Amino acid sequence: MVVSCPTSEVAQRRVLIIEDNPDGRESLEFLVRLWGFEVQVAQDGLAGLGKALDWKPDIAIVDINLPLLDGYEVARRVRSALDGHVYLVALTANGGSENRRLALEAGFDCHLTKPADLDELLHLLEVARGTEGVADRER
């Protein structure tokens, strides 16, 4: 279990979670809030896109298989509108190399496969405040 907490500088970062599974969404929201981040959630791609454009999060954790608008299209549109102002994390059950390639092409900064390693997720959230030099690794 992850016991480390983000620094106060990171604690003010805004994280948008776009996940259609209620249990997964609520669990991730609880955890990210526990780590000290400001969090909003959406349950489908269209709602997530709207929240991203209105709220302008620093970080968005996006499932790929979303209703109404898939995660790839959410990433493309968010990247187009907020380029340079949001760090996009694909968190998905689609773990193959082709899925990773598609995620990166759509504009995601990194690709994590569910269930994500919590230490790795916290590290990504902490590092995302300065995304230059953050290398995407096979996960």
Tokens of 136: 């995407």
CB-based contacts of 38: which residues, under 8 Å, 6+ apart? 12, 13, 14, 15
Segments making up each domain of the chain, as ranges: 8-129
- The pTM of the full predicted model, rounded to 2 decimals, is 0.84
**pLDDT score at 129:** 59
Beta strands in the chain (DSSP E): 14-18, 38-42, 59-62, 87-92, 110-113
d(CA 15, CA 52): 10
pLDDT attached to residue 34: 95
Question: Taking the chain, what is the end-to-end CA distance rounded to the nearest angstrom?
Answer: 19
The pLDDT confidence band at residue 58, using thresholds 50, 70 and 90, is very high
d(CA 70, CA 64): 6
Residue 130: the pLDDT is: 53
| From 2-16, 50-64, 92-106, the region with the lowest mean pLDDT | 2-16
pLDDT in tens, 59-102: 999 999 999 999 999 999 999 998 778 999 999 998 889 999 99
DSSP state letters, 77-116? HHHHHHTTS-EEEEEES--SHHHHHHHHHHT-SEEEESSP
43 pLDDT more than 50: yes
* Confidence at residue 16, expressed as pLDDT on a 0 to 100 scale: 98
Check residue 96 and give its pLDDT. Answer: 86
Q: Does domain 8-129 have CATH number 3.40.50.2000?
A: no
